Amino acid sequence: MSINIVTLVGRVGGDPDIKYFESGSVKCRLTLAVKRRTRNSDEPDWFTLELWDKTAEVAGNYVRKGSLIGIKGSLKFDTWSDRQTGANRSAPIIRVDQLDLLGSKRDAEGSMADMSSEHF
């Protein structure tokens, strides 16, 4: 048995990067800052998220820098050859299957009771 499930809740580090393909597919890339549950670390961990098709369109329409979101997906590695050195490189990417809009930064600064939750 093998399991590859990643669940994260955090704030988006920048506006979505959306790409539309001739095939009709839509791809969105985001960065997500997630605080660790330790008391001695104020620095967040940063994750690169990749969303496709309807989930990517929802992110493009509703997610902005500072948005609080929850995601569920799987870990994968993008690999490429470095243009200058020819060395093989890789970077971890979270392939998002589920996106939850948990509220905007403005909502979080206001009342927590006013925060809405939507699931896509």
Fold of 6-113: OB fold (Dihydrolipoamide Acetyltransferase, E2P) (2.40.50)
What are the tens digits of pLDDT across the range 66-110?
999 999 999 999 999 988 888 999 999 999 999 999 975 555 454
What are the DSSP E strand ranges found in 13-67? 17-20, 26-34, 45-52
List of residues 6+ apart from 58 with CB closer than 8 A: 99, 101, 120
- Which pTM does this prediction carry? 0.78
Q: Which of 7-16, 34-43, 48-57, 59-68 has the lowest mean pLDDT?
A: 34-43
Query: What are the sequence ranges of the domains in the chain?
Result: 6-113
What are the tens digits of pLDDT across the range 38-57?
767 678 999 999 999 999 99
Can you tell me the distance from the alpha carbon of 84 to that of 82, in angstroms, rounded to the nearest whole number? 6
What is the sign, positive or negative, of the torsion defined by CA atoms of 80, 85, 87, 90?
A: negative
Identify the three-state secondary structure at position 96: strand
List of residues 6+ apart from 95 with CB closer than 8 A: 50, 52, 73, 74, 75, 76
